[in-house]
Amino acid sequence: MERSSDKIEEGSPIDFALKQGATMETPDDTKLIKISAVPALLAELTGVTRQRLTIYNWIKVGCRTHDARIVKLQTKKRMGQLFTTRARLEEFIREVG
């Protein structure tokens, strides 16, 4: 049985976004990593240790790449805390070089 809240009206902004290729997938919260756990994961991935303050600076200010771009570590805010994923951290490491 379908509830009325499950229906997407024709011409609504959500309908438009879906037609443009957006998905209605929700992020998997089990893959989120607290920012306080990122230094340990970074050491595991690269062998380099960084302080938690450095991670916060990567989130707020970013880090300059070899080609002079500024790249920020992507995060999500849930219940007042910052989280990231392993994939986003790996992407950040690749971008920065």
Residue 85 pairs in a beta bridge with 32
43-90 pLDDT, tens digit per residue, is 999 999 999 999 999 999 999 999 999 999 999 999 899 999 999 999
pLDDT tens for residues 1-29?
A: 444 456 767 777 766 666 766 555 555 55
In angstroms, the CA 97 to CA 31 distance is 24
pLDDT of residue 3: 45
Quickly list DSSP for 8-23.
--TTSHHHHHHHTT--
C-alpha separations of 6 from 3, 23, 81, 93 in Å: 5, 15, 30, 39
The pLDDT value recorded for residue 61 is 96
- pLDDT, residue 32, reads 92
Of 52 and 97, the one with more pLDDT: 52
